[in-house]
Structure 1
Amino acid sequence: MQRGSLKEYLTEPFLKTLYDEVRKAGAIRSISLDLTHECNIHCKGCYYFSQQINRLGSNATDGDFDRLIESEKERGTNFVTVVGGEPSLELGRLKKVYDNFKMNVSTNGFRKIPYEGFEQMPIGVSVWGNHATDRKMRGSGKRDIFPVALKNYRNDSRAFWYYTVTPGNAHEIQQVTEECVRNGNRVLYTFYSDLTNMGGSYDHRQGFQFAREEIARMIERFPEHILLSNYIGEVVSTGKLFEQEWGYSVCTSISTNNPVNAERLTNGNPYSPHFRAYNADFLTTRRCCTATTRSCDSCLDVWQHFSWIILNMKKHLTTEADFTNWLTTMYLFYFINRLVDWEKGAALLPEIHRRIGMERFTAEARKAS
């Protein structure tokens, strides 16, 4: 039904519940921040090292870090995504972020982030496939990181698995998801970019149709454990949002203080005016979260696509179905990052997946398979 009215959409009680929770949490003024140039493993295809982001800026002191924390508080930052290098190697700095901002952190899982002192911190724990694939991609065929990470975060409510799906290994999605769910955790899928030209089953240009089908099946089986909606997965893996195609010209997570982005800021597409992606010198910023010079067409990062959807609310006001896709995306972002009531959000997950057309997506997946 064509309506196009926010007021009318919000007469639906469930949508009104989600919208009120997000409004109560307030607007996000975010940055991304690398705590260190160092990492205790080097994953194949990792954007951080393939882009040589680890070489940006000089080594910084804790005093430099403290000055950045204070300046960002004064600037009004209220949310920090901690990435870059391996954050578990800098627990002192991580604690300062946790004590001063709402935040999340991505970790390879090899070194456990303690519970004490980080009780409400969302932790995205990386996994890149089943044990054999993960060993090949993250352990150079020699180290088993996945079982170590499983043990470190077993039944840890802070942790969710940040599962990087590769096109040719989509058949592993069921096994990996089941193992993560048995471990007492939730799962957020993202999609692999073949930045180091491994080719074969790792080449993102093959497309992710089979992966989307498998993810749809996992949502059907474990709706209370999956943090990626079918809608978000389709936008990320196809690079399409209504009439737009993903790329630098539409990316919303760009450093607004970096001169390289001056022309992008004037092209009429929305962006987050507060956002900056800080390097580990705690002074300079790069173009965006995951890139310096590479083409953004190959970026399949789920966080940046969350932002792309969220900042294009107006495009989603044509129908109630489109608005539901937008609102559930917004709510999932707030839920994952504990910006809304955690227990309430957990109870709402199955209905969120149902509302955005789980039956339609899974029916299409079955037909295609």
Structure 2
Amino acid sequence: MSVAYDEAKRVVRAFRKPAFYEVATRCNLFCEGCYYFSDNFTPTKEVQDLAAWERFFAAEGERGVTMAYFVGAEPALEQDRLHAASQYFPHGNIGTNGTVRIDPAIPYRIGVSVWGVDAEVDVSLRGGRTFGKAIRNYAGDPRAIILYTLTRSNLGDTRKLAEICRDNDLPLTFNMYSPTQTYLRKLQEGEGNDRSFFRISNAESNLCWDDESLGEVRSMIPRLMEEYPETIVYSEAYNDWATRSGPLYDIDPETGVARDCHSRMVGQMRYFRADMEPGDEKCGTSDAVCSECRMYSGGWSSKFEPRDEDLRDAAAFSAWLGMIATLGRIFLIESPAPAPAFAVNRPDLASSAPRPTA
């Protein structure tokens, strides 16, 4: 127990001063129910000067940021900014759709988002075939972990994905799709489908969870963990919590905002937009509906401190320690000394598809 407790303290220390950095406002995909492009999306006037990004990240490093989350539409389209950051933060986590390989010199954890294995499922949920590219780009990459966003429509792909990850030396973990305010409004108002982020959903068939589908995930994940113990990085205790019925958080009845989610921009947490100005986002995914949110980022960050239920007995506390160890494996890698930053001139990135409009 003492070894597990020491490991938990080590993991939690890595996140003692986190910040989100939006490094890209364009993307090359059209994911159904997109987390980023919302109804009220207003393009940020991005800072283009690489030297300004270096100065900004240097100041953030001096401020003592220990964990940098690189987000946006698609951070892999702005790799010069990732290079600029890499010399200033001890830990980093990059969220990417996997279609563009991130330079091996960038020493941070890479969460490669996957939404489906079957070509039809992949295309329907993301607007294009992405799965094969993601596997080819990151097979055997020690920085990468496959982040499978579970939805009601892709649960049948999960076992096949675990097998493919095993065969390509890629760890696998899970996210649960969480609807945004934009997505729920379109469902509730019966809005017609479009050609971008609301192509296939309707009131009868959509990505939102119900008790039956939550139960399916709750029973499926432990079986897969037994079958692929060296591949799947997850926790049965966390899975039980994330698939429980009803809201996972204490919701303020007046604002609808979660009062106890640790992905909130309160305390030490900060969110900076691509103009380098601090944003007023409520959390790292500001359009998400708190009462429906099961997103892995908010869920795992809310486990940093044990709650009453985690302290009721030795077994519960041991389960909490196991969750923190798993959290570390998902979000952290042991980084070598950062390489010097340098400007990246990548015409292939500059010519990527323009940022889609919501």
Normalised by the shorter chain, which TM-score bucket? 0.7 to 0.9
Tell me: CA distance 1:241–1:226, structure 2 relative to 1, closer, same or farther (3 Å).
Answer: farther
1:150 is aligned to 2:144: no
What value does the CA root-mean-square deviation take over the aligned residues? 2.6
Pairing of 1:163-178 with structure 2 (within 5 A):
163-178=148-163
**CA distance in 1: counterparts of 2:164 and 2:54, whole angstroms:** 39
1:287 is aligned to 2:273: no
Structure 1 residue runs of 4 or more that deviate by more than 4 Å after TM superposition: 239-247, 339-342
Distance apart, 1:314 and its partner CA? 5.1
CA contact (8 A) 1:187 1:225 kept: yes
Q: TM-score, normalised by structure 2?
A: 0.77
Distance apart, 1:234 and its partner CA? 2.4
**CA distance in 1: counterparts of 2:305 and 2:246, whole angstroms:** 15
Pairing of 1:1-369 with structure 2 (within 5 A):
15-24=1-10, 26-28=13-15, 29-50=17-38, 52-53=40-41, 55=42, 57-62=44-49, 63-101=51-89, 102-115=91-104, 117-118=105-106, 120-131=107-118, 132-138=120-126, 140=127, 143-195=128-180, 196=183, 197=187, 198-199=201-202, 200=205, 202-205=207-210, 207-238=213-244, 248-256=258-266, 273-285=267-279, 286-292=281-287, 295-313=289-307, 315-338=309-332
Distance apart, 1:67 and its partner CA? 3.9
**CA distance in 2: counterparts of 1:290 and 1:325, whole angstroms:** 27
Structure 1 window deviating more from structure 2 (304-313 vs 56-65): it is 56-65
CA contact (8 A) 1:60 1:281 kept: yes
The amino acid of 1:156's aligned partner reads D
Tell me: CA distance 1:321–1:33, structure 2 relative to 1, closer, same or farther (3 Å).
Answer: same
Tell me: CA distance 1:306–1:239, structure 2 relative to 1, closer, same or farther (3 Å).
Answer: farther
Q: Which residue of 2 aligns with 1:360?
A: none
SS at match of 1:100: coil
CA contact (8 A) 1:186 1:225 kept: yes
Distance apart, 1:133 and its partner CA? 0.9
Tell me: CA distance 1:334–1:187, structure 2 relative to 1, closer, same or farther (3 Å).
Answer: same
SS at match of 1:162: strand
The amino acid of 2:260's aligned partner reads V
Distance apart, 1:333 and its partner CA? 1.7
The amino acid of 1:289's aligned partner reads G
Q: TM-score, normalised by structure 1?
A: 0.75
Distance apart, 1:336 and its partner CA? 2.4
Tell me: CA distance 1:245–1:296, structure 2 relative to 1, closer, same or farther (3 Å).
Answer: closer
The amino acid of 1:42's aligned partner reads F
**CA distance in 1: counterparts of 2:290 and 2:146, whole angstroms:** 24
Structure 1, unaligned stretches of length 5 or more?
1-14, 257-272, 343-369
Q: Which residue of 2 aligns with 1:361?
A: none
**CA distance in 1: counterparts of 2:309 and 2:57, whole angstroms:** 35
CA contact (8 A) 1:64 1:282 kept: no
Distance apart, 1:289 and its partner CA? 0.4
Alpha-carbon displacement from aligned partner over 1:86-115 (angstroms, at most 9, x marks no partner): 111111111122221111111101111122
Instruction: Report the count of equivalent residues.
Output: 305
SS at match of 1:228: coil
Tell me: CA distance 1:240–1:333, structure 2 relative to 1, closer, same or farther (3 Å).
Answer: farther
The amino acid of 1:254's aligned partner reads R
Structure 2, unaligned stretches of length 5 or more?
188-200, 337-358
Distance apart, 1:212 and its partner CA? 2.3
CA contact (8 A) 2:8 2:321 kept: no
- Of structures 1 and 2, the one with the larger relative CO (CA 8 A, separation 6+) is 2
The amino acid of 2:161's aligned partner reads V
